[in-house]
A and B are shown apart, each in its own frame.
Chain A
């Protein structure tokens, strides 16, 4: 892939909040998770687990406890930290910070791969964590970090504004900004 294609993919991804009802195949979902697991991960800990919810009743129940989840997606992904695989650090950063960063990187891989397939996604943190964990019957060492809705977008997404690169960059020292 040429850099211009990659930049186009990155810059045209949008958070989708309206989906068509078409299902997403398990094969496609498997491919997306493969993209996720190739994300960078500190010390190769790979402290993650990815729940795929494609049962309509389960989706409805999770959506009910997720005020920030919109659009009737046919799939919800539960992006989880597996605390049993996270590094044990004295300050707890292994599971609280590093594992969370790993899952976030995996999420971005997955969302870009989905976009390349013509699928839409939206990362959702506005959900009731204990309630959704109970619905998924998660054991105590599996902690949900974020949900990702997935499906065929109902309409093309517009918009997308970002602060200019010149405004957010600094070289070597902050003082030179």
Chain B
């Protein structure tokens, strides 16, 4: 079995279970963490290797813990990430 893929699935299912007992703001953290983990998983598995996606993952990693101490910085990261995804999506066309 593919260990990295399995770990990603467990992260998602464990988060879904735990979030019912955790502060609501952790939902944002888990989702954006899952985004970075997916990018890292895609790269590790050779599914997608893309510098722009790597940049998004790096931005998430650098700023996601600001959720606890600097909400403005966290929200700014979320906005940047989505603008970056919009550019990637647009340049990807209809696939």
Contact surface of A with B, Cβ cutoff 8 Å: 17, 60, 64-68, 125-128, 131, 159, 161
Contact = CB atoms under 8 A, between A and B. Distances in A.
19 contacts: A17-B65, A64-B6, A64-B7, A64-B11, A64-B14, A65-B10, A66-B14, A67-B15, A67-B18, A67-B30, A67-B33, A68-B18, A68-B26, A125-B22, A126-B18, A126-B22, A126-B26, A127-B18, A159-B69
Secondary structure of the A side of the interface? loop
Interface residues of B, number: 14
A65 B22 CA distance: 15
Contacts of B18: 67-68, 126-128
Interface of B: 6-7, 10-11, 14-15, 17-18, 22, 26, 30, 33, 65, 69
Contacts of A67: 11, 14-15, 18, 30, 33
Contacts of B69: 159, 161
B59 to A, nearest CB: 16
Contacts of B10: 64-65
A66 B33 CA distance: 13
Contacts of A64: 6-7, 10-11, 14
A128 B11 contact: no
B64 to A, nearest CB: 9
A135 to B, nearest CB: 11
Contacts of B7: 60, 64
Contact of A127 (B14, B30, B33, B65): B14
Contacts of A126: 18, 22, 26
Nearest to B70: A159
Contacts of B65: 17
Residue of A64, A66, A125, A161 with most partner-chain B CB within 10 A: A64
A159 B18 CA distance: 27
Contacts of A17: 65
A8 B7 CA distance: 39
A66 B6 CA distance: 14
Contacts of B26: 68, 126
Nearest to B33: A67
A-B residue pairs, 6 tightest by C-beta: A128-B14, A67-B15, A64-B7, A64-B10, A65-B14, A159-B69
Nearest to A130: B17
B81 to A, nearest CB: 18
B33 to A, nearest CB: 7
Contacts of A65: 10, 14
